[in-house]
Structure formats: structure tokens, C-alpha cells
């Protein structure tokens, strides 16, 4: 599998690793996760209380100190997630299983159903806590924070981020 244009931000025993679907062009250009200014990820972290203040994508390294990490289900950069192919997720489940076994995060939170479905070759899933676990790591599916998911109201997305905060 090719390396990502946006490196993982990981460490042992984090509270949660956020797993996006793949790097978009803005994130790849910046070398940071969720770099599109219209992506609500960083605002949702702050508004849900997961972070004490609004972080900028360039502050992503601060997440480790707060007990969080970042990765993606697919590493190939695309204009949009609709441009991904099944092959882009090859090895994703195994990589996440290794991550869970070796780094032992409390949870992996997938930022969008497509990230979870792509990693585990599923046709469907629901938001929230999943029955599947990896080693002792629980899995949680959040709504996508992408500008392409703007039809889902901010308050609804925030509700799921708060549910994750309560779980953690």
C-alpha cells in the first residue's frame, strides 16, 4: 500500500483514533487531516467538548497530548470520496486491526459511514457504537464532516460527536 500524502498522527494508548475516509486535495496539499476550511471536523471536536478549544488543522499534533490520533481508511488522495475504488481500501481492515492490537486505543471513530464501510467491505452501517470490536478497541461511526455532507444539519452531526464524547 502506498504511503499517504497526509501522515498518520498516532501514539500508544490514545483515548480515540479518528479515521477519515481518505485525504482530499486540500489536506494532501497542506499535509494535514481535514484541512478544507469548509470541513466541520475541527469545529465539531471543539463544540462537542472533545477538545478544549477550536484547533486548526496545523495544530493536529496537539491531538496526541489530548489523547487523540488521526488516520484514514484509504490513503489515496482524491477530489472527493466518490472517486475511491474498492482497491483503495485493500488492507485497511488488517491495518486497523494491527493498530488496535499494537497501540490499544480506547476507540476508533470513523468520520463518516463510507470510511467504516470501505475499511470492512460493508454495504451498510448505522451511526454510533458498532457491534464489531478490534482486539479490545470499540468502533464508533460518526457522520461525515465533509462539505459534501452539508445536507445533514450541524446540530445532528454535533449530537453524534457528543455521543462519542460521552462514550469516551
Q: Where are the domains of the chain?
A: 16-167
Instruction: Return the pLDDT at 58.
Output: 95
**Residue 114 buriedness (CB in 10 A; 0-12 / 13-18 / 19+):** buried
pLDDT exceeds cutoff 60 at 2: no
Strand order of the sheet with strand 128-134?
A: 68-72, 16-20, 107-111, 137-142, 128-134
pLDDT band at 149 (very low <50, low <70, confident <90, very high): confident
Q: What are phi and psi of 47, to 5 degrees?
A: -65, -25
Dump pLDDT digits (tens) for 7-54. 999 999 999 999 998 888 888 889 899 999 999 999 999 999 999 999
Handedness of CA 8, 66, 137, 158 (dihedral sign): negative
pTM (2 decimals)? 0.94
pLDDT exceeds cutoff 80 at 3: no
pLDDT exceeds cutoff 60 at 1: no
Instruction: Return the pLDDT at 76.
Output: 64
Instruction: Return the pLDDT at 142.
Output: 98
Dump pLDDT digits (tens) for 102-131. 999 999 999 999 999 999 988 899 999 999
Q: What is the CATH number of domain 16-167?
A: 3.40.470.10
For residues 163 and 138, what is the distance between their CA atoms, to the nearest angstrom?
Answer: 14
- Asked whether the beta carbons of 108 and 137 are under 8 A apart, the reply is yes
Dump pLDDT digits (tens) for 75-102. 766 676 666 678 778 889 999 999 999 9
Instruction: Return the pLDDT at 5.
Output: 80
Strand bridging mode 107-111 / 128-134: unpaired
Amino acid at each position: 500500500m502506498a504511503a499517504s500524502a497526509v501522515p498518520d498522527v498516532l501514539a500508544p494508548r490514545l483515548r480515540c483514533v479518528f479515521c477519515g475516509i481518505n485525504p482530499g486535495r486540500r489536506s494532501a496539499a497542506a499535509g494535514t487531516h481535514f484541512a478544507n476550511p469548509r470541513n466541520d471536523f475541527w469545529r465539531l471536536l471543539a463544540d462537542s467538548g472533545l477538545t478544549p478549544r477550536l484547533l486548526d488543522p496545523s495544530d493536529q499534533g496537539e491531538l496526541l497530548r489530548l489523547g487523540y490520533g488521526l488516520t484514514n481508511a484509504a490513503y489515496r488522495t482524491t477530489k472527493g470520496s466518490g472517486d475511491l475504488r474498492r482497491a483503495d481500501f485493500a488492507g485497511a481492515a488488517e491495518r486497523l486491526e494491527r493498530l488496535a492490537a499494537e497501540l490499544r486505543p480506547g476507540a476508533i471513530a470513523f468520520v463518516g459511514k463510507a470510511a467504516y464501510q470501505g475499511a470492512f467491505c460493508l454495504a451498510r452501517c448505522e451511526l454510533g457504537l458498532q457491534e464489531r470490536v478490534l482486539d479490545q478497541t470499540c468502533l464508533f461511526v460518526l457522520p461525515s464532516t465533509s462539505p459534501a455532507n452539508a445536507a445533514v444539519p450541524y446540530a445532528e452531526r454535533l449530537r453524534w460527536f457528543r455521543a462519542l464524547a460521552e462514550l469516551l
